[in-house]
Amino acid sequence: MSPDTTETSRRSFLQRAGGATVATASVASLAGCGGDAGDGSDGSDGSDGSDGSDGSDGSDGDDGSDGTTTTLRYGRGAHSSTLDPQNTTSGEVAKVTNQAYEGLIAFQPGEASLTESLATDWSLDGDSVTLTLREGVSFHDGSEFTADDFIATYRRFVDDDYEYNFEDASVYGPFTLGNWIDSIEAPSDYELSITLTQTYAPFLRNLAMFAAVVISQDAIEGDTNLGEEMVGTGPFQLETLDDANNRIQLTAFDDYWGEAPNVDEVLFLTRGQNSTRAQALVEEELDIIDGLDPDSMQIIEGSGTAENRTATGINIGYMAFNLSRIEAFRDRRVRRAISYAIDTQAIVENIYSGIATQADQPIPPALFGHNEDVSPYEHDPEQAQSLLEEAGYGDGFSFSLTTFQNPRGYNPAPLPTAQTIRSNLSEVGIDVSIDDRQFSDYLTYTSQGNHDATLAGWDTDNADPDNFCYVLLHPQTDVPDGQDWVSWDTEGFNTSNNAAWANSEYMGVVEEAQQTTNQEARAELYREAAQIAHDEAPWVFIDYADEVRGVSNGVSNYTVAAIGGPYLEAVEVE
């Protein structure tokens, strides 16, 4: 153990590139509905697996050569290009890492309530946090879990004075831990005492996020390649990472401290096309799939071998204007004009076919702080044209719209959505070119601020409005006086704010909400923030989507969870 891992003060923290939701699962067989991968964060930065490949032509998970291995086959639309939870914002990574790693605190499956994990007790009093840790827990490498493992995990993520600091850490580092922790002490092997930089109401919920999971100190300070290996305390451990075939095999961890998994192994298998994935499910080649759109749900509906299951999501799909790049977008009238010009009602009703509702603000309806007095922008081309003329853009202008190719939970049909936007805006003289990219390329491109505008979305990590209002629309850096945007290359800029929007009034309200512990008072502040965001329109607010999965009839004890998960250790397979 390094002598400086028992106590560390907040010095300087890396500000680099950086979602999952909450719902009580409900089961339904729905014709004409669909959704996508929600178990984890589908944020807009970091790196992720390649889309479009129907790979995984390794074994699809036979039942083992001795006929006794119980295998759960999870089908998804994209592979994980890293296994490092500190190097991603993507749900495709979190789906896998959440099986092998655990945080100090967890979410109850399918709920927003917190439950014990590697900590058995905790308290938050002002800027003071104390946690009692679980004893007798082993990492996959055989080392024992203690307080020093969390301290090493924290320092790797955000402390650039730490010898083993991770230079490629995602933006989750600052907004999950780094911005809020002033110092950490370990009074004993199984106690943590954390002093925060300020009162920060969502802090305990942040400890349950996928990016805050605990990594073995031995692995951090040794020669372990955490992009290709996982050294956690979770119910499953890595057996095989097969990037060539987009296939990941996990096996049950024999020394797991909790209840043993109900299956011997989990296979994550990639099928890039939704219809291919759905067909594999009904033909009993897969057990659970995500990434469903209305057409693929029709394949499952009435198949006799599988069903569609849904849960209320806490997510948002939107189009962000990059104010740092396009001068026209810095004019509020232009942003509002485009919001009026795009027919989000038609997108939701005709393209998303009933699995989503129109969005009107950054906070989804299932979260406290959602402002019910705010309504979606109506489709009004005449009002849009009037605003454009008022702003000096009556003859129109042009921009490129970047989008991902594969469906996400918050956007089950990205290309048709982009095409509708292009068609709508052509009616008011705005020429849009579509720049569609594989998801890994899309994430890198947009995290560098290369987009003019981008389709994007977010599934909440912690069921708190701060995870939308601060993470996605606060620059987390200094803003020039009299300016409501920041340059992408500003030191410390939060690149998950893919609009580069920096409204001082909004920022002040959100910061006050972070330091307010009374929930109703916080809710009122977030309602105020939501109204500002709606009126200023840094995004075109498109949709709030359901969580949808395809599940084989042979699967039981599977909870469709919109926050955390997927919770595969509880699943049983016939």
- DSSP string computed for 389-400: HHTT-TT--EEE
Q: What is the pLDDT of residue 235?
A: 98
Q: Which of 54-58, 124-128, 223-227, 525-529 has the lowest mean pLDDT?
A: 54-58
Of 322, 308, 318, 405, nearest to 359 (Cα)?
318
Residue 510 predicted with pLDDT over 90: yes
Q: What is the rounded distance in angstroms from the CA atom of residue 288 to the CA atom of residue 147? A: 36
Residue 161: what are its φ and ψ, rounded to 5°? -90, -5
Q: Give the C-alpha separation, 34 to 298, whole Å.
A: 9
The pLDDT, as a whole number, for residue 37 is 37
Q: CB–CB of 38/310 below 8 Å?
A: no
Q: Which of residues 322 and 45 earns the better pLDDT score?
A: 322
Least confident of 8-12, 126-130, 135-139, 171-175: 8-12
Q: What is the pLDDT of residue 19?
A: 33
pLDDT for residue 499 is more than 90: yes
Is residue 54 over pLDDT 80? no
Position 187 pLDDT exceeds 90? yes
> What tens digit of pLDDT does each residue of 255-304 get?
999 999 999 999 999 998 889 999 999 999 999 999 888 889 999 999 99
Q: Which fold has domain 3-310+548-573?
A: D-Maltodextrin-Binding Protein; domain 2 (3.40.190)
Which H/E stretch holds residue 195? strand 191-196
Residue 324: φ, ψ to 5°: -70, -20
Query: Residue 20's closest CA among 501, 537, 543, 567?
Result: 567
**pLDDT score at 13:** 30
CB of 399 within 8 A of CB of 432? yes
Give the span between the Cα atoms of 194 and 184, in whole angstroms.
Answer: 5
Q: What does the pLDDT read at residue 52? A: 40
The whole-number average pLDDT for the span 427-447 is: 95
Weakest mean pLDDT among 252-256, 385-389, 436-440, 444-448? 436-440
Half-sphere exposure of 60 (CA within 13 A, CB side): 16
d(CA 449, CA 169): 18
Q: Quote the DSSP letter at residue 127.
A: T
Looking at residue 67, what is its pLDDT? Answer: 59
| In the predicted structure, residue 31 carries a pLDDT above the cut 80 | no
Q: Where exactly are the structural domains of the chain?
A: 3-310+548-573, 315-545
Confidence of residue 11 (pLDDT cuts 50, 70, 90): very low
Query: 94 and 561 in contact (C-beta within 8 Å)?
Result: no
Residue 249 banded pLDDT, cuts 50, 70, 90? very high
The secondary element (H helix, E strand) that includes residue 96 is: helix 91-100
State residue 407's pLDDT score: 81
Average pLDDT over residues 488-496: 95
The alpha carbon dihedral of 252, 254, 257, 259 has a sign of: positive
Q: Is 3-310+548-573's fold the same as 315-545's?
A: no
Quick one: tokens of 398? 């042009």
pLDDT, tens digit, for every residue of 146-177? 999 999 999 999 999 999 999 999 989 999 99
- CB under 8 Å to 85, separation ≥6 — which residues? 93, 94, 97, 101, 210, 211, 213, 215
pLDDT in tens, 307-343: 999 999 999 999 999 999 999 999 999 999 999 999 9
pLDDT at residue 56, rounded to an integer: 41
Q: Give pLDDT, residue 34.
A: 28
* 451-452-456 Cα angle (round to 5): 60
525, 516 Cβ separation under 8 angstroms? yes
pLDDT at residue number 409: 85
- Residue 272 is predicted with a pLDDT of 86
CATH topology of domain 315-545: Dipeptide-binding Protein; domain 3 (3.10.105)
CA 7, CA 532: separation in Å to the nearest integer? 41
Read off the pLDDT of residues 90-132 as tens digits, 9 standing for 90 and up: 889 999 999 999 999 999 998 999 999 999 999 999 999 999 9
Please tell me the distance from the alpha carbon of residue 234 to that of residue 251, in angstroms, as a whole number: 11
**Euclidean distance between CA atoms 529 and 439, whole angstroms:** 30
Q: Which of 545, 552, 549 is nearest to 27 (CA)?
A: 549
